[in-house]
Amino acid sequence: MNKTKSIVVAGLMMGLGLAACNSGDMRRNPGKIYAPDMTYSRAYDAYTANPNFADSQTSRPPVAGTVAMGHALPDHLMEGDTNSYKTFTTDMRFTDAQMEEGRRLFNIYCGICHGTNLDGQGPLYASGKFAAMPANFKDGKYLHMPVGTMYAAVKFGKNMMGSYASQLDVKQRWMIIAYIKKMQAANGGDAFTMGMTETPAATQFDTVKVTKNTIIAENAVKVEAKH
Ligand code: HEC
């Protein structure tokens, strides 16, 4: 037993001794780096100064005139042009799943003021901490409001309501408006027209399936021909 103990103690001491060899900043062997390009990135980090650009910023805005993948084309609505607000519209149509997303976004961004019941009694206004009465979407004043006017309110803000342009992309804004319009339709508003039944994902999937099956079928024919 004593023997084992002394072996363990000796081992520990040797370990400590070896560790001591590498201590301090006098380590002469820098070790091997397997992929130096990966360890020391040549790319500029997003928020560091960049000598290649006049403004020294590494993060660049999108190139003018480009649209990010998956994003809708930009609208050309001008702030204050209330006449075009009224006629501005979209041909986007939303599936049930997207309507559900519209509801989720509404509850996140708008519900605090406009209320998750859309009655203008959101918790912020109800608490008395926000003086301006948010639009009550169930009220006659807003029931028939053109979708473009709603869109403009989201994009540019309206009096005490701020703009949501930086938080919501074009499609998300319309998704929310579609949700409001659907709720309004159920409360005496105009008939809801922004919905669609088939899901675009499913359509795409079908196309892929058809192509795949066609290829399989074509190959089968080829195989048959060979034999
Ligand atoms: C901080 C509170 C607040 C939030 C959050 C808010 N709103 Fe508003 N909203 C208001 C107020 C207040 C008004 C009334 C503005 C007025 O007419 O003076 C209003 C008005 C509106 C109107 C009517 C615009 C018009 O031309 O009369 C629409 C549409 C609207 N909001 C949509 C939204 C949507 C959609 C969201 C979420 C993306 C949202 N609001 C988020 C406070 C808010």
183 touches ligand 1 (CB under 6 Å): no
164 touches ligand 1 (CB under 6 Å): yes
Q: How many CB atoms neighbour CB 46 within 10 A?
A: 10
176 touches ligand 1 (CB under 6 Å): yes
114 touches ligand 1 (CB under 6 Å): yes
196-209 tens-digit pLDDT: 986 555 444 444 44
Choose which residue among 79, 104, 110, 159 to substitute to test ligand 1 binding: the one with the highest number of ligand atoms within 8 A of its C-beta: 110
147 touches ligand 1 (CB under 6 Å): no
Q: What is the pLDDT of residue 198?
A: 67
Question: What share of the chain in percent tops pLDDT 70?
Answer: 81
Q: 160 CA to middle of ligand 1, Å? A: 8
163 touches ligand 1 (CB under 6 Å): no
84 closest CA partner among 143, 144, 148: 148
Q: 164 CA to middle of ligand 1, Å? A: 10
Does the pLDDT of residue 218 top 80, yes or no?
no
Cα→Cα distances 74→66, 69, 98, Å: 10, 13, 20
133-152 tens-digit pLDDT: 999 999 999 999 999 999 99
153 touches ligand 1 (CB under 6 Å): yes
Choose which residue among 88, 113, 133, 156 to substitute to test ligand 1 binding: the one with the highest number of ligand atoms within 8 A of its C-beta: 113
4-39 tens-digit pLDDT: 788 877 777 776 555 555 556 777 776 788 888 887
* Domain locations in the chain as residue ranges: 82-107+134-185
Choose which residue among 77, 136, 161 to substitute to test ligand 1 binding: the one with the highest number of ligand atoms within 8 A of its C-beta: 161
